[in-house]
Amino acid sequence: MTEKLILASGSQYRKALLENAGIDMEAVPAHVDERAVEATLEGSGLTPDDVAVVLAEAKADEVSGRKRGALVLGCDQTLSLGEDVLHKPADMEAARRQLLRMSGKTHSLNSALVLMRDGEALWRHVSVANLTMRDLSPTFIGRYLAAVGDKALTSVGAYQIEGRGIQLFEKIDGDYFTIVGLPLLPLLAELRRMGAIDG
């Protein structure tokens, strides 16, 4: 027995990853104000992993309320640099400052998944990848941002590892799917365990 999965996201990239893996799915974007959810967590002492899970669960819960009986997948990713959680840059100047701040340092991408049915979380998971940027000169950052344009504003780190962003790094510890925000191997294992996909 297999079951259609509802992806609580408008991300064409996540949708393509699931489709390429042969998952019967439908994408239904969640209507969640991520910054408002994060604001309620200020001072809570939650780790970046925890924040990613809370956001993924909020998305799954919102869509689960509209898709009764369906198996819903919520996803989110946070970027942590030391104790700080960074967000998608608002504009190119913010992207420039963020890349300067991450230059020569290691940051973590915390990718959370939550499977939910009828408002009940059935499974939660976080995978972490650690990425070390090489030392980047301000002039290189300027050229990089000019080359990628507004794509820099669509991801939490101002880069896409699957594109020109790979040039920013000297070392990566973690799997590709965690880095792009959908840890597929643990998800597939859980879907098989649940009988939602052919195992």
Concatenating the DSSP letter of every residue in the chain gives: ---PEEE----HHHHHHHHHTT--EEE------HHHHHHHHTTS---HHHHHHHHHHHHHHHHHHHSTT-EEEEEEEEEEETTEEE---SSHHHHHHHHHHHTTSEEEEEEEEEEEETTEEEEEEEEEEEEEEPP--HHHHHHHHHHHGGGGGGSTTS--TTTGGGGGEEEEES-HHHHTT--HHHHHHHHHHHTSS--
Distance (Å, rounded) from C-alpha 57 to C-alpha 117? 11
Distance (Å, rounded) from C-alpha 11 to C-alpha 2? 23
Global pTM reads 0.90
pLDDT digits 0-9 by tens, 126-144 = 999 999 999 999 999 999 9
Which residue of the set 33, 49, 61, 76 is catalytic?
A: 76
Average pLDDT in the chain: 93
Catalytic residue status for 91: no
Give pLDDT, residue 87: 83
Distance (Å, rounded) from C-alpha 81 to C-alpha 30? 27
pLDDT digits 0-9 by tens, 62-107 = 999 999 999 999 999 999 998 888 888 999 999 999 999 999 999 9
Rounded mean pLDDT of 144-167?
93
Give pLDDT, residue 23: 95
CB of 155 within 8 A of CB of 162?
Answer: no
First to last CA, the chain: 10
Give pLDDT, residue 1: 53
35 band by pLDDT with thresholds 50, 70 and 90: confident
What's domain 5-194's architecture?
Alpha-Beta Complex (3.90)
Q: Where are the domains of the chain?
A: 5-194
